[in-house]
Amino acid sequence: MESSKVIHAFYTDDEILLDAVKAVKAKHHHIEEVFCPFPVHGLDKAMGLAPTRLAITSFLYGITGLAVAIWLTKYIMIEDWPQDIGGKPNFTWWANMPAFVPILFELTVFFAAHLMVITFYMRSRLWPFKEAENPDPRTTDDHFLMEIPVHNNEVELTKLLTNTGAVEINIVDKH
């Protein structure tokens, strides 16, 4: 595997980082990753990242949960073991549906929440015993790190990053 060089530019303020990302993108440089100790509003848009489709999957998981809840209540309470509750037997799902609303709601939320967590971990490639990809532990405390690939333009990138307010700039081999 061939190693490539990247520049790690450190920032201590999220607003300065956001302005730096915009400046680097304006010069048409590719930003590999930005490591932050907390979410920075607008950073995804500044980096040009595509919007997430997790909301669509959440909706589909909720619909799946609702369908399972409808099937479950119909099968258990109408077909398999119909019960005379309060002296008013009714053997249609539609007539009994108001009593099933809590079950329908809970299974909708249950499926959406649990399947979203699984989807998020799979999409983010976060699984048990995975080693951290964080290049510097300071990014979990009070520093922001912008990682930019180097293609024989170290001087240009270093000058640009210094002008954007980087407090530290390192050129490292990324394996």
Q: pLDDT tens digits for 54-84?
A: 889 999 999 999 999 999 999 998 888 887 7
Show the tokens assigned to 171: 């050129």
Name the band, by pLDDT with cuts 50, 70 and 90, for residue 91. confident
Task: Let me know: does 170 contact 54? Beta carbons within 8 Å.
Answer: no
**Which domains are seen in the chain, by residue range?**
4-49+138-174 (3.30.70.120), 54-123 (no CATH)
Name the band, by pLDDT with cuts 50, 70 and 90, for residue 33. very high
Spacing of C-alpha 2 from chain mean position: 29
**Count of CA atoms in the C-beta half-sphere (13 A) of 98:** 2
